[in-house]
Amino acid sequence: MRPLEGITVVTLEHAIAAPFCTRQLADLGARVIKIERPGVGDFARAYDTRVRGLASHFVWTNRSKESLTLDVKHAEALPILKKLLDGADVLVQNLAPGAAERLGLSYEALKEAHPRLIVCDISGYGADGPYRDKKAYDLLIQSESGFLSITGTPDEPAKAGCSVADIAAGMYAYSNILAALLQRGRTGQGCRIDVSMLESMAEWMSYPMYYAIDGATPPPRAGAAHATIYPYGPFPAGDGKVVMLGLQNEREWVSFCDEVLRQPELARDPRYGSNAARSAARAELRALIVDVFSKLTAEEVIERLDRAQIANAHMNTMHDLWEHPQLKARQRWADVATPAGEVPALLPPGVPNTWTARMDPVPALGQHTDAILQGLGYGANDIARLHAEKAV
């Protein structure tokens, strides 16, 4: 039995933050009913067509869900929503600011009739404050949270290559819902969870914030190198490939000089006698390292680093990641059905050995509409009428 079997989640969601949260609840066995706009659905369905005609974002965040099409502004929508919530444990929404309240789906509007319901609202800036009504997308929050100020090169900022602000908010929504379910098990009471993308990213930015406390200089943008530890970052090898490595302490610096660079005298050179000194002398130290590495292949560099017990990694591409030998050895892939056929999917990280993660299909738009309505007591004629009226 999976941990969340018997838990029903109703979600009015789009894009990434809420869908990523609820997909993880589905991984744990929850029944997730995804409400989508008739005809078009979650707009993430149209982000691209890279997965055999389907959108990469959507395939990633929507397996194991049921798709119910419903025009939430239609007169027939509220009775359907109320019936759904009668059997729900959790309501998740990341609609535009204020939309849930206008639909009568705020925690305050629902708590009397549904005292056990957990309502999770995900937004860019939170439920109050001067930014409450601002629209927020991932890149905008990366910028607003200061992430862009420390990411990129000295000449130009760069965004994260994945939806890091959405992922942060989705993870905090997911973990807080799990905590709320535990608390409800003790108290019998639901609650409201207010997740802000800005606050989620600000939490993740706390190291650079503390580094710059009291007006101190913030960490500089250092490309793929570490902003404050050196050597720590990418270095080219003689075969044109790049090796990523990282040193953390003086013992590792000595080992790096002895066994990797094979210049033990560098370990005693006062110009490089501390991390602060090495960081200040990056340019000349990098030239020394690159000169040694230029005579070696990337694999030869990694062999030396491994022998010296210096942390290192390949600079992998997406194609390399699909074929990663560690993921294959640990059997981390499963096949998931989609409207375009089966695709490989990564098993959720960290699942215990007492149960298996749910890896059910990615739904077609409205695939479960009729079955859900039947489960709510609607007859065939009523369902046909709702379709005719474009309510569903």
Residue 281's CATH number = 3.30.1540.10
160 vs 138: CA distance, rounded Å: 10
119 and 88 in contact (C-beta within 8 Å)? no
Q: How far apart are the first and last CA of the chain?
A: 33
Q: Is 290 among the domain residues?
A: yes
298 vs 13: CA distance, rounded Å: 44
pLDDT for residue 351: 82
Domain hosting 39: range is 8-204+328-388
In a shared domain, residues 175 and 73: yes
Q: Which residue has the tokens 């056990």?
A: 116
Q: pTM of the predicted model, to two decimals?
A: 0.92
In a shared domain, residues 153 and 239: no
Q: For 147-226, where are the alpha helices, taking DSSP H only?
A: 147-150, 164-187, 197-204, 206-211
> Does residue 155 carry a catalytic annotation?
no
Q: Is 50 among the domain residues?
A: yes
User: How large is the C-alpha radius of gyration of the chain?
Assistant: 25
Task: Quote the distance between the C-alpha of residue 177 and its chain's center.
Answer: 16
232 vs 51: CA distance, rounded Å: 35
In a shared domain, residues 87 and 173: yes
Last residue of a domain, one of 264, 286, 315: 315
Per-residue pLDDT of the chain (392 residues; tens, 9 = 90+): 999 999 999 999 999 999 999 999 999 999 999 999 999 999 999 999 999 999 999 999 999 999 999 999 999 999 999 999 999 999 999 998 899 999 999 999 999 999 999 999 999 999 999 999 998 999 999 999 999 999 999 999 999 999 999 999 999 999 999 999 999 999 999 999 999 999 999 999 999 999 999 999 999 898 888 888 999 999 999 999 999 999 999 999 999 999 999 999 999 999 999 999 999 999 999 999 999 999 999 999 999 999 999 999 999 999 999 999 999 999 999 999 999 999 999 999 998 899 999 999 999 999 999 999 999 999 999 999 999 999 99
In a shared domain, residues 100 and 186: yes
Q: Is the dihedral of CA 347, 348, 351, 354 positive or negative?
A: negative
118 vs 185: CA distance, rounded Å: 12
Which CATH number do you get for residue 12?
3.40.50.10540
In a shared domain, residues 306 and 361: no
Last residue of a domain, one of 264, 287, 315: 315
pLDDT for residue 227: 86
Bridge partners for 376 per DSSP = none
In a shared domain, residues 20 and 137: yes
3-state DSSP helix/strand/coil % of the chain, to nearest 5: 40, 15, 45
In a shared domain, residues 20 and 50: yes
In a shared domain, residues 337 and 276: no
pLDDT for residue 58: 97
* The 118-123 sheet, strands edge to edge: 65-69, 31-36, 8-12, 90-93, 118-123, 192-196
Q: Is 241 among the domain residues?
A: yes
175 vs 170: CA distance, rounded Å: 9
Active-site residue, from 27, 133, 166, 335:
166
User: Is 93 in a helix, a strand, or coil?
Assistant: strand
Nearest to 286 by CA among 325, 231, 241, 341: 231
Q: Is 296 among the domain residues?
A: yes
Q: Is 29 among the domain residues?
A: yes
Element (H, E) at 123: strand 118-123
Nearest to 390 by CA among 11, 72, 103, 83: 72
235 vs 44: CA distance, rounded Å: 37
Measured at the alpha carbon of residue 146, what is the angle toward residues 141 and 152, in degrees to the nearest 5?
100
In a shared domain, residues 267 and 119: no
List C-alpha distances in Å: 213 to 201, 204, 219. 17, 15, 11
Last residue of a domain, one of 263, 286, 315: 315
pLDDT for residue 136: 92
User: Is 231 in a helix, a strand, or coil?
Assistant: coil
Q: Which two tokens stand for residue 27?
A: 């991984």
Our count of domains for the chain comes to: 2
390 vs 392: CA distance, rounded Å: 5
Cβ neighbours of 109 (radius 10 Å)? 14
Q: Which two tokens stand for residue 203?
A: 């939490």
Q: Is 137 among the domain residues?
A: yes
Q: Is 126 among the domain residues?
A: yes
Measured at the alpha carbon of residue 139, what is the angle toward residues 38 and 134, in degrees to the nearest 5?
70
Q: For the chain, where are the alpha helices, taking DSSP H only?
A: 17-27, 56-61, 77-86, 99-102, 107-110, 138-144, 147-150, 164-187, 197-204, 206-211, 250-255, 275-280, 282-293, 298-307, 318-322, 325-329, 369-375, 380-388
In a shared domain, residues 237 and 382: no
Q: Is 342 among the domain residues?
A: yes
In a shared domain, residues 83 and 190: yes
In a shared domain, residues 173 and 267: no
Task: Quote the distance between the C-alpha of residue 259 and its chain's center.
Answer: 38
385 vs 336: CA distance, rounded Å: 34
